[in-house]
Structure 1
Amino acid sequence: MNDRTVKYDDPMNHKQRTIREQQIAFAEIDLGQPDRKLTEAFVVVPESSEREVDWRQDFRYVSREQQFVQQAREMEWKAEESAEFVPFQAYWPTYEQMHPGQLRWYLYWRAEVRSARYPETDLSYLFVYLYELIHGIGWREPAQGYELMRSVWLAYRDRYPKLDMYIREWQYDYGLVFGLELPPAEPLQKLPRTLSEELREQEWKRRFTAEPLALTWDMLLPLIDYDIEKSRFYKGQGRKDLQAYAPKVVALVDGYLAKTEGARLLERFMPREKKVSRHLFRTAVYNHELYGRTIPVSVLPVSGHLPLRSYLTQLVRLTENRLREFTGFKGKLRGITVEPEVDQLIYRFLHNELEQRRAEEAKARLPKVKINKAKLSRLQRESDEVRDMLIIEELPLVTRERGLEAFEPSPEPAKRSRGTSNRKAVDPRQAEMVFEGFMDLESASVQAKLQKPGDSEDSRASSDPVESYSDGMAITSDLSMLENETLSEKLNDALMENEGMELPQEWQELLSRLSEAHKKMLSALLDGEEAAVRVGIAEQAGSMPELLLDEINEISMEWIGDLLIDSDEIAEEYRAELLSML
């Protein structure tokens, strides 16, 4: 029952296993080296002719920024005499991303920019050039590098507005690195979202220290702890009024505190400066081994100072309450605490502003006086005709033999400019003969009219010559008076037609802004005077004709919204107004 069953291997299987082990041993011995002992150490000795390896220099990591600086130094003064523009657009552009045609254009364009010529190019080329300036490529002194950066910015900022948000930050970092006293940057009307904290606080500080305080609505809004955009008054009728008057109220209170207390808003609620670590040349291809990654900066935290924010919030809320009151909007904001004198100051200011605006709106609704240009031209033409009738161009020679011949006018009346007359000179002897003949004819005519029927020739011959002369002069005077009365009637009729056609307000303002030199220049243009006359007018005023014409056009653009002078001539549609003005 308990006997164990012992199994023995087959003799044939044992023999095959023995042969296989021998074959394996033979293969291992055959692949080895029988002349060398298996336990002997094997060492490879390098040849003495190989160079030594510097592991730090030959196997160190070279960043993309470091490689850019190396290539920039190699190509610092390379230039192309001419090249064809090739478009280039890339994020964080470098030389590696340019193909040969783009690189040739960049070297040509960079040489032009260094010579103060600014051909059209792509934005990516601009960034590569700015990266070079940041790393000291292309300039000898830091101030020179700053001017190059500023000049290329001003040359291309109109075409590429996004340059503003980059170069403004890089110029600030550049000044910090080299310790430059940079001129104040251009004021911002609105703070971009991407603007760094240091530049935001710097801009607020500059606004609060300006004289007078110069805050816009967009710059005031982040400084108040009141979500004014949820206000019913703001969402309704008060948006424009709050945006217009809230910054003015803050500036008004700032000036009032400066006069009464000797301390402005920022001086009254002055925060403490704090030190922050600023990252250099963010968003640029920048090798931080050159100037470091960060730099300490002192910042005045205007926007984060709670007492200042609280006071500004109260001023804005009080402004909204007063505007609600003046515009008839129901409801008021509660919990406003400001000084009573400040409250009265704001009340008087807003009351005056709104009253003045209502008066201007009422004035604008009044009908404007319009001048009938056609009627004015007709009046001027009739006046010229009456004047021409009264001017004797040329007196004919009258003698006793010719008798009463008609004084025929000149077949072609002389052309006269405004205010001048081209009368022909009359010989004195001819004038004397004309006068004598005229007086004789007049005397004869008077005697014929005064002679009674039945009078003899002797009685007529014996009449008093002095009396005849006096009667003739009286009749001549009557004729002249009749002509004058006719002229007066025409002029009175013209004045009656033109009555009530006074110049509009804007033309009156325009006339008041013009100097005597401007008026003389306009008169010369109206009269068609030569260029020499205009030069003389300008020389008397210590100027040049072109400058006077430009000044006249600037004034006219301001008050009537159009140019009076085009190509050294008065605009045809404004000749009538200028004639009536001058």
Structure 2
Amino acid sequence: MDTSILKLINDALVQAKNEKYVLNDGNIEKSHYQPEPIIKKASELAMPAPKRYKEMLKIEPNNNTFSWQSDYINARFYLQAKFMESFEDDYAYYGEILRYLPQYTDMTFPELRGYFTWRTKVRKGIIEETNISFVFVYIYELINGIGADSPKDGFQKLLYIWNVYTKFNNKIDRYLKDWLKDYVIYYEMDPSRIKDIPIKRNHYLFVLSDIQNAVKKNDFSEFLKLINGFSNYKIHKSKFLKEFQNDYIDALAVVYTDLEKFYNNSRKTTLFEKMFGKESREAWVPFRSGIFYGDTQKNPRKCIVNDFERYECTNGEWLKYSYSEYNVDKRFIGEVLRTTEFFLREIYDYSYKITFKSTSKLLTNLIEKSIISFCEENNKKDLCPRMKENQRVKKKKKKEMAPIIKIEPVRIEIDPSKFDEIRKTAQDIQRKLIVESVMEKEKEILVEKTKVVNNEKEQGMEVFSKSLTIDEKEIIREILNNQSEKIDEIAKEKNKMVTVLLEAINEKALTFIEDNIIETNDEKPWIYDEYREELLEVL
């Protein structure tokens, strides 16, 4: 039947359904109800279904060896989908369907015809908004290899339906971001295709690979950038790092190399394992939470994503070998970064020191030895005072070498013939000034002084301290005195979170001294050492 005719029938029936009573002579009070047939949508009217649908629904797995009901359901879906792989339909369906784990056996004939009509259009490049259950059935077909010429073709079709249909409904996002990765692994595709997935799971494992490659290439600039995200000490906020970034990176390379040798020779774990944990093994099920028949390929195979993630299959059973982000030792990584900076500041005789946080004696000694070796080899001892002295000498030499500019005297020639003209002009000006002065007094004109507006923004530690409230000053004093308990009391009195109060102080600091003064990422907040003395003076 023509699509437009079915739509007209559907609209007419809906309108009739909304009329609840029949009027009598135009008088609503005399209206009465009368029996009416049950109204059905056009899509629910009895329509002849192609014979192939009935044949498809009769298909069942041949054996009863399934341990779980879900395995039987998955096998049935695969066989029925294979039977309907090339089928097409043309049917106008306007109904709605919402199923959890939708499959063919859950649908009526009109719903089946509606789905296969929609799928026919999708395969022709026409994707229309429809029931989300139809979309999931189509995705289930693709992950089972139905409707795809090759794994590469199936992967591209999954990406295509995701990119286009997510504009209508984004419920498929949470599933496809995992299933696309599973597709690459299960069908033994190039693991690099995982990077084509818009939302990647286990991004952490890719970062680990990047960190390892940075160490192999001796690129500790990239290493520091990547490792900072796993540290409880945020080195990128350090004032010392901003001034001596290259020195710090070179010193960190020496520290890492020495620590790596120590762990390889004296510990059962490597330095990398100390920071990020060891490889773990667990059972893995491809396309979890979807309808997938996994018994189509029994051959042993493996997929190596990178050095930190791999998959192996034996007799249809999969195992996953990977590193867990929960095993990262953020405290240890932070200790390495902070202790390295501490000894560099000490040996450089940097103006601002940082508080030494207790680390294991062994780790402290190893890092100190590495830093001393680095500084001696590169002549870094007392570097900061030497740099200041060099700057002072350069300024002095520059001043001494500055050329002396000889100023030639200006000759002034006087023409006596102009005296009378000058005298006459001066008398005229004097006369005008006297007249204007008298007129101003008679009219009593008040002249206001122009206000001078200073548009220059005031900055500095003193201005910052004046902007603080009484409570904010008290919070800073308590942090300086390591009394974090009293900060909790202030926050409780103000009915605010501690982090909110600390961020408010940092915002003012950014305004007046262009930097944060409080580190809020640790368990206890602390003041950056370069600002401690100035704060003690102004508070």
Normalised by the length of structure 2, the TM-score is 0.38
- Which structure has the greater CA radius of gyration? 1
